Amino acid sequence: MQEMAVTYSIGEVAEMFGLSVPTIRYYDKEGLIPNLNKNAAGVRRFNEDNVSTLKIVECLKNAGMPIKDIKQFVQWTLQGDKTLNERSQMFQELRVSVQEQMKQLQETLDTINFKCAYYGKATSDGTEKYVKEEMHLN
């Protein structure tokens, strides 16, 4: 009474992640999806582990990490406990980096909000003239 392991085709995985099929092949080629099996005909079958790996790959991508560094991390995970320090340090540095990105993005949003107010007034005036005087304070 063995459970049949659930697997997914590359097209299904592409759909799940909103990525293109060639992009996923490219990630595989780059070594970002270790232990990805192929059937007798050479067709990729993704198991839950492979999907989990892709989830963390996506997280690291969203954090702005380049593919080669993501690959390094994946290699570390394959090497087991002896690379725990490297991985721990990587995530701590990444946290700082993402916090800085958030701060930068918030400043950008503040500026954009100011511009939205500026152009809101300007469009309702039909001209930049008055809002420019008002907001430049000159």
**β pairing state of 44-45 and 37-38:** antiparallel
Q: Cα dihedral sign for 109, 110, 113, 119? A: negative
Q: How far apart are CA 45 and CA 57, in angstroms?
A: 18
Applying CB under 7 A, the span of 32-40, 78-86, 106-114, 125-133 interacting with DNA comes to 32-40
Site string for DNA, 61-90 (x = CB under 7 A): x----xxx----------------------
Contact status: 119 vs a second copy (CB under 8 A): yes
* Collapsed DSSP state (helix, strand, coil) of residue 1: coil
Type of residue found at 95: R
Contact status: 10 vs DNA (CB under 7 A): yes
DSSP 128: S
CB under 5 to 8 A by kind: which of DNA, a second copy, none does 67 bind? DNA
State which residue, 39 or 124, has the beta carbon closest to a second copy: 124
* Collapsed DSSP state (helix, strand, coil) of residue 4: coil
**Which chain residues interact with DNA by CB under 7 A?**
9-12, 14, 19-23, 25-26, 38-44, 61, 66-68
